[in-house]
Structure 1
Amino acid sequence: MAKLFSKETKRKLLVWILPRLAYALMNLLFFTCKKKFHHQQHLFGTPTLYAMWHGELLMAALAYQHYSQRIHINTVDTIISNHFDGEMIAKLMDLHGAKTIRGSSSKGGVSVLRHALKSLQNGRDIGITPDGPRGPRHSVADGVVALARMKKVPIIAMNCRPTSYWKMKSWDQFCIPKPFCTLEFYYSDPFYVHELSLEEAKTLIQKRLLEHAV
C-alpha cells in the first residue's frame, strides 16, 4: 500500500493525468472563445525561433499551429526543462504532436544548445520561453540569443492575451483564459539579433514580448 502511494507513484499519476486534462481544457477554451489573430508579415520555409513568456504557455501550441497553418505541429521542437512541471509540459506538447528538447540554461544547457542547433540545421522551428523554467518573470536568458546568433535565424515573439483570465500565484503568474472570452493572439514581425550585442539582443527580445504581454 505504501508503494502504491509513494511520491514517485503520485508523480507518475500526475504526469499521466494533468497533461490530458490540460489538453482537453485548451481545446475546450479554444472552441468556446472568440479568436483574433494579429500579424502583418507571415514567415514560411525558414527555421525560426518562436518565443513566448512562460506564463502564457497554455495556448502556445495552438498559437504556433495557427501561425504555421499546420494541423499537427510536427515541425517544431520545444525546449522544456527537466523539472517536474517540465515533464508535464513535455507530455502536453507530445499530445499536440510536437517534439521536445529537455533541459535548460542551468541544467543540461550545453546539450540543449547542441540539440537545438541541430534541429535548426535540419529546418525545424524551435519553441522557447526566454524566462523559463524558473524566472525571473519576463526576463530573457542567454539561450534564445545564442541560438539566434549562431544560426542567424529570425525570432517571432508570440503573445496570447485573453480579455478575461485567471492568474495563478506562481512565479510566472500563469495565465488561464476564462471561457467565452476573446483570445487575442499577437505575432511580431520576424526580427534578427545576430548583429547585436548580447545585452542589446536580450533587450530587443524583451521589448517585443512585452508589447502585448498579459
Structure 2
Amino acid sequence: MVKKLVRELALILLPLISFALRIIGRTIRWQNRYDFEKDRGKIYALWHGYALGLALFGMDRGIVVLVSRFRDGDIADGILKRLGFETVRGSTENGKGEKGGRTAILKLIELLRNGKNIAITVDGPKGPAFKVKEGVVFLAKKTGAGIVPACVKFEKCKRLNTWDRLIVPYPFTKGWLLVGKEIKIGESDDLEEKLMELERELLRLESLSCGSPG
C-alpha cells in the first residue's frame, strides 16, 4: 500500500522531478565528451545502477531507451521523455511476450536498422545486478549493431542500498564518461561467449567508477 502511494505521488510529481534532475545534470562538470554524432545504429549497454548518471550525460540526444512495462517503468518512462530521450516499453528477454517482449524486439530492430541509437540496462529491470541478460546480444546479432559498453564515474556520489546499487551524483561534482571496447557479433559467434565478453567489459568499467559491485 505504501509503495503504491509513493509511486502514485512520484507520477504526480514527474514534471518537478524531471526538472530537478535536468538542473542537477547541468551542474555536473563533465571532464570528457562523447561524439554521439558518429554513432548510427549502436546499442549502448549499461548496468541498471548507472542509468541515472548516464541519462544526465546523454540528455537531449534522441537516444532510444528500452523501459520496462512494469508499473515502476511508468516513472522512468516519464522522466526519460522529459530529459530528451525516446522510449520503447517492453523486454528483450526470450519468452517475455506477456511483457511486450516480441513487440519491443521488433521495434528495436526497426529503429537500429534506421540508424537510431538504443540504450539498454542489461541487468534490468529486476536483476540480478551486474549479470548481463541474453537479450542484448541476441539483438546485436540480429541487426549487426555494435554494442558500446558504458559507465560513469563521479568525484562525489551516493550509492543507494537498492537491488541495482543505484549511483546518484551530487550536484556540481566532476563526472567522467567511461566507454569500453565496442563488441560486434557475427553470424558464427557464440552468443554465450559474447555475453561473457560484454559482462567482463562492463565489470571492468564498473571497477573504475565510484564503488564496486561488492
TM-score relative to the length of structure 2: 0.82
How far apart, CA to CA, are the structure 1 residues paired with 2:3 and 2:159? 28
Alignment partner, residue 68 of structure 1: none
Q: 1:152/1:169 Cα in 2 relative to 1: closer, same or farther (>3 Å)? A: same
Task: Check whether the contact 2:25–2:57 (CA below 8 A) recurs between aligned residues.
Answer: no
Identity of aligned residues (%): 26
Does residue 60 of structure 1 match 2:60? no
Task: Check whether the contact 1:49–1:148 (CA below 8 A) recurs between aligned residues.
Answer: yes
2:31 aligns to what SS in structure 1? strand
Alignment partner, residue 73 of structure 1: 61
Alignment of 1:169-188 (within 5 A): 169-188=161-180
How far apart, CA to CA, are the structure 2 residues paired with 1:53 and 1:80? 13
Q: Which runs of 5+ in 2 are unaligned?
A: 210-214
Does residue 192 of structure 1 match 2:172? no
Letter aligned with residue 169 of structure 1? N
Task: Check whether the contact 1:43–1:190 (CA below 8 A) recurs between aligned residues.
Answer: no
Deviations 1:147-191 (A, max 9, x none): 100111111111111122112111001111123322121122432
Task: Check whether the contact 1:131–1:141 (CA below 8 A) recurs between aligned residues.
Answer: yes
Letter aligned with residue 114 of structure 2? N
Does residue 47 of structure 1 match 2:34? no
TM-score relative to the length of structure 1: 0.82
Task: Check whether the contact 1:51–1:157 (CA below 8 A) recurs between aligned residues.
Answer: yes
Task: Check whether the contact 2:27–2:172 (CA below 8 A) recurs between aligned residues.
Answer: yes
Letter aligned with residue 200 of structure 1? E
How far apart, CA to CA, are the structure 2 residues paired with 1:80 and 1:91? 10
Alignment partner, residue 202 of structure 1: 195
How far apart, CA to CA, are the structure 2 residues paired with 1:172 and 1:7? 18
Does residue 212 of structure 1 match 2:205? yes
Q: 1:80/1:33 Cα in 2 relative to 1: closer, same or farther (>3 Å)? A: same
Pick aligned residue for 2:32 from 31, 37, 40: 37
Letter aligned with residue 10 of structure 2? L
Alignment partner, residue 80 of structure 2: 93
How far apart, CA to CA, are the structure 1 residues paired with 2:28 and 2:74? 28
2:10 aligns to what SS in structure 1? helix
Does residue 134 of structure 1 match 2:126? yes
Task: Check whether the contact 2:44–2:149 (CA below 8 A) recurs between aligned residues.
Answer: yes
How far apart, CA to CA, are the structure 2 residues paired with 1:45 and 1:165? 29
2:205 aligns to what SS in structure 1? coil
Moved more, 53-62 or 41-50: 41-50
1:60 aligns to what SS in structure 2? helix
Pick aligned residue for 2:22 from 24, 27, 51: 27
Q: Deviation of residue 33 (structure 1)? A: 2.9
How far apart, CA to CA, are the structure 1 residues paired with 2:3 and 2:198? 39
How far apart, CA to CA, are the structure 1 residues paired with 2:123 and 2:66? 12
Q: Deviation of residue 43 (structure 1)? A: 6.8
Q: Deviation of residue 196 (structure 1)? A: 2.6
Q: Which runs of 5+ in 1 are unaligned?
A: 66-71
Q: 1:206/1:7 Cα in 2 relative to 1: closer, same or farther (>3 Å)? A: closer
